[in-house]
Structure 1
Amino acid sequence: MCCSGFLKIMMFIFNGAIFVAGAAILGVGVWVKVDSGSLLGVLEEIEDVPDAFAQLVNVGYLLIGVGAVLLVIGFLGCCGAIRESRCMLMTFFCIVLIIFLAEVAGAVVLFVFQGLVKELVVDLETQVRKSIEKDYGNENSLTNIWNHTMDEFKCCGFMNYTDFDNSPYHNMHGKLFYPPTCCNATRDGDVVVVCPALTARDSRVPGCFLKLVELLEDNAVIVAAVALGIAFVEIAAMVVSLVLYCKIGDNKA
């Protein structure tokens, strides 16, 4: 009896962690979808973007789905422990096992095909340049998204200020000026402060893609720690649920 009580407490702890993680992921997913002024918004405006990057647009839906599934799993595990339902515990075990195997498979695929990332980035850069040259300064939706992204991340273009060469905005100002963020300038209300080409070159404001990579690298340890923590909780929850499942079976025998 004492052992069963301890197992139930452990189930509550692990499933509580899963439930909280699900709520957090769900919240992030909703935030990503609501935040239209981001790099994901830029991808939505680009034609012929590589498929691997085009799918990033749906990352918000993916996070919402994963968060919702984790919420259900956390509830299922706690409910199964309270009611001592072998069916619910086994269902919980199978779902967590499938998710864990999918995570391992995803990690293996990323490791094996990481060499393709550079090739995909080159393809993406080409399409982004074409999009900027065609519509920046001419198409309000894309222009506003780029301006919001550059203001928020303090960056300039995809790789650097030269991405705006031959764009409608560039041509509109005599091919000598760039967006204000390319030289650390600010907007004066609704008036766009142009950035001289020489200043843009000397200011060396990094591209938005480089800023994104820097952000990911700076938080790589946190991401890895969270991933390992989730994997540990999943394994521990599966072990405890299986032991509790067998214990309940012995008590009913």
Structure 2
Amino acid sequence: MQCFSFIKTMMILFNFLIFLCGVALLAVGIWVSVDGPSFLKIFGPLSSSAVQFVNVGYLLIAAGAVLFALGFLGCYGAQTENKCALMMFFLILLLIFIAEVAGAVVALVYTTMAEHFLTLLVVSSIKHDYGSQKDFTQVWNTTMDGLKCCGFNNYTDFEDSPYFMKNNGTFPLYCCSDNDNGNGTAPGPCTEEKAKEENVQGCFSQLLHDIQTNAVTVGGVAAGIGGLELAAMIVSMYLYCNLK
């Protein structure tokens, strides 16, 4: 009985924290979606790129709603010993866990297909928007500066882009590593000859390399999240099975 009471209390506290996180994410997501300008004033110009590039407001709302529902169901089910709420909590967590495992399997099995799809999508966007869309251009500049890379595949991604056309057939300075002084400015233009000679790695390849380099950390985080989800499912089933 003492073990049951302890697990019940821990279940309530754990899910109350999840509930609070969900409320916070929902609040920030709604704020970003409804009143973006005031959000951008606080967090600076870089947030403008991120918000518009990945629609982070909607992403936060979705994540917040899931955490809100999970936290409420877990906390309510444990506190009131409601078997229906505990079963719903278990099923939602199980669906999330299955989706994560399926996503990992698809990513491993269909990496080449995903790379081909992303190449078609991202390179097309670069050729159409880089140099003409301010936010899109700023996101790519930040990415290339942070990862020390050039384009999605290499410098050829920028051929026929608005930037390429407006700058007399030259490429972003990130594609010429010997010209870059750390802030995207350089004494000379990045010509095709320089870019070809430098052969700066594409951002996709660089990102994969960074993930492989930090595979232990990434795997540890993924395993930790999966372990927490499994533990939460086991605890919810324990409470469910021991309720009268």
TM-score, length-scaled by structure 2: 0.68
Counting only pairs closer than 5 Å after superposition, residues 156-235 of structure 1 correspond to structure 2 as 156-175=150-169, 177-184=170-177, 185-186=180-181, 194-235=189-230
For structure 1, the 5+ residue unaligned runs are: 42-56
Distance 2:103 2:134 in 1: 38
Identify the residue that residue 44 of structure 2 maps to in structure 1.
none
Displacement of 1:114 after TM fit?
4.5
Distance 2:212 2:184 in 1: 34
Distance 1:247 1:120 in 2: 45
SS in 2 for 1:195: coil
Amino acid corresponding to residue 66 of structure 1 in structure 2 = A
Displacement of 1:147 after TM fit?
2.5
Counting only pairs closer than 5 Å after superposition, residues 52-91 of structure 1 correspond to structure 2 as 57=54, 61-62=58-59, 64-81=61-78, 83=79, 85-87=80-82, 89-91=83-85
Distance 1:14 1:109 in 2: 26
Displacement of 1:96 after TM fit?
2.5
CA deviation digits over 1:34-60, x for unaligned, max 9? 84535982xxxxxxxxxxxxxxx4676
Amino acid corresponding to residue 156 of structure 2 in structure 1 = T
Identify the residue that residue 98 of structure 1 maps to in structure 2.
92
Structure 2 counterpart of 1:37, from 21, 39, 49: 49
**Cα distance change, pair 70–136 in 1 and its aligned pair in 2 (3 A):** closer
**Cα distance change, pair 102–125 in 1 and its aligned pair in 2 (3 A):** same
Displacement of 1:161 after TM fit?
1.3
Q: Conserved in 2, the CA contact under 8 Å of 1:10 and 1:240?
A: no
Equivalenced residue count is 227
**Cα distance change, pair 241–170 in 1 and its aligned pair in 2 (3 A):** closer
Q: Conserved in 2, the CA contact under 8 Å of 1:137 and 1:143?
A: yes
Displacement of 1:219 after TM fit?
4.2
Distance 2:202 2:161 in 1: 16
1:132 aligns with 2:132: no
Q: Conserved in 1, the CA contact under 8 Å of 2:52 and 2:135?
A: no
Displacement of 1:160 after TM fit?
0.9
Identify the residue that residue 153 of structure 1 maps to in structure 2.
147
Structure 2 counterpart of 1:240, from 219, 225, 235: 235
Identify the residue that residue 4 of structure 2 maps to in structure 1.
4
Q: Conserved in 1, the CA contact under 8 Å of 2:90 and 2:237?
A: no
CA-based RMSD: 4.1
**Cα distance change, pair 134–235 in 1 and its aligned pair in 2 (3 A):** closer
Q: Which has the higher contact order (CA 8 A, sep 6+)?
A: 1
SS in 1 for 2:49: coil
CA deviation digits over 1:182-215, x for unaligned, max 9? 1231488999962233332333322122233233
Identify the residue that residue 37 of structure 2 maps to in structure 1.
none
Distance 2:208 2:140 in 1: 17
TM-score, length-scaled by structure 1: 0.66
For structure 2, the 5+ residue unaligned runs are: 34-39, 41-46
Q: Percent identity?
A: 39
Q: Conserved in 2, the CA contact under 8 Å of 1:37 and 1:148?
A: no
Distance 1:26 1:217 in 2: 30
Amino acid corresponding to residue 67 of structure 2 in structure 1 = L
Q: Conserved in 2, the CA contact under 8 Å of 1:90 and 1:242?
A: no
Displacement of 1:98 after TM fit?
3.2
Distance 1:238 1:127 in 2: 38
Q: Conserved in 2, the CA contact under 8 Å of 1:133 and 1:166?
A: yes
